[in-house]
Amino acid sequence: MSTLVLLTMTGLGLGALYFLIASGLSLIFGLMDVLNFAHGALLSIGAYGTWWAASGNLPGAGPGGAGFVLAVLFGTAVGTAAAVLLELTVVRPLYTRPREQVLATVGVGLAVPALLSGIWGSDARTFPGPEALSGTFSLLGAEVPVNRLVLIAAAVVVLIALRLFLGRTRHGLVVRAGVEDRAMVTALGIDVRKAFTLVFAIGGCAAALGGALGGLYFGSVDPRQGTSLLIFAFVVVVTGGMGSVTGAAVASVVIGLVQQFANYYTAAGLGDLAVVVLLAALLLVRPRGLTGRLA
3-state secondary structure at position 221: strand
Using CB under 8 A as the binding rule, the residues of this chain from 19 to 58 that contact another protein are 33, 35, 37
Q: By the 8 A CB rule, do 222 and 212 touch?
A: no
CB atoms within 10 A of CB 218: 16
Report helix, strand or coil for 65: helix
Of residues 11, 52, 38, 213, the one with CA closest to residue 109: 38
Residue 14 interacts with another protein (CB under 8 A): yes or no: no
Beta bridge partners of 220: 126
Q: Which stretch binds another protein (CB under 8 A): 139-147, 167-175, 207-215, 248-256?
A: 167-175
Residue 147 C-beta: closest distance to another protein, Å = 25
What residues from 119 to 148 belong to the interface with another protein (CB under 8 A)?
119
Q: Is 4 in the site for another protein (CB under 8 A)?
A: no
* Residue number, 72 or 91, with CB nearest to another protein: 91
* 59 forms part of the interface with another protein (CB under 8 A): no
Q: Nearer to another protein by C-beta: 100 or 143?
A: 100
Q: Which of 47, 53, 71, 192 binds another protein (CB under 8 A)?
A: 192
Which 3-state string (H, E, C) describes 101-159? HHHHHHHHHHHHHHHHHHHHCCCCEECCCCHHHHCEEEECCEEEEHHHHHHHHHHHHHH
Q: Which one, of 194, 160, 164, lies nearest residue 84 by Cα?
A: 194
* Number of chain residues interacting with another protein (CB under 8 A): 65
- Identify which of residues 11 and 113 has a Cβ nearer to another protein in the complex: 113
What does DSSP assign to residue 266?
Answer: S
List 4, 69, 85, 111, residue binding another protein (CB under 8 A):
111
The percent helix, strand, coil of the chain (3-state, each to 5) is 80, 5, 15
Q: How far is CA 253 from the centre of its chain?
A: 13
Shortest distance, CB of residue 166 to another protein, whole angstroms? 11
**205-244 residues near another protein, rule: CB under 8 A:** 227, 231, 234-235, 238
CB of 171 to another protein, least distance (A): 11
Spell out, one character per residue from 250 to 279, where the chain touches another protein: x when CB under 8 A holds, - when not. -----------------xxx--xx--xx-x
CA pair distance 284, 265, nearest whole angstrom? 27
- Number of Cβ within 10 Å of residue 219's Cβ equals 14
Q: Which residues bind another protein (CB under 8 A)?
A: 33, 35, 37, 90, 93-94, 96-97, 99-100, 102-104, 106-115, 117-119, 170, 173-174, 176-177, 180-181, 183-192, 227, 231, 234-235, 238, 267-269, 272-273, 276-277, 279-280, 283-284, 287, 289-290, 293-295
